[in-house]
Amino acid sequence: MKIRRLQRKDENDQWYDDAYVYEDEAGQVIFCCNLTWESVGRHYYHEFKASGVSIEAVETVLPLNGQTMRWLALEVIEAGQVEAYLEELDERCAIPKPRSITVAKA
């Protein structure tokens, strides 16, 4: 699987993982971000899907100045390591896990 991480600089000038894109089985680029991105995250999620951009060219959809945010180089994750890598990356990016919701019947 191909992945590119998006990093943000904190108030101490330290870079941390904030979001990422990956290429699914169909070659579609999927944007994954945490809840602090709110509507901006939804916008870019749909923008990546609609544009058909390659993972190598994500800067054309979401350009960054490198001062406070930056795209890292393309990473290729081996098939047997994808699930563990994504779990760790979701944790580092503070991306919430989906939960089932139980609705009480009246």
Task: State if pTM tops 0.85.
Answer: yes
Contact (Cβ atoms closer than 8 angstroms) between residue 72 and residue 4: yes
Mean pLDDT by 10 residues, the chain (106 residues): 95 95 91 91 92 93 90 95 94 85 72
Residue 47 to residue 51: CA distance in whole angstroms = 6
User: Residue 65: what pLDDT?
Assistant: 84
- As given in the structure block, the two tokens for residue 80 are 């047997």
Q: Identify the bridge partners of residue 71 per DSSP, sorted by sequence position.
A: 6
User: Residue 7: what pLDDT?
Assistant: 95
User: Residue 106: what pLDDT?
Assistant: 67
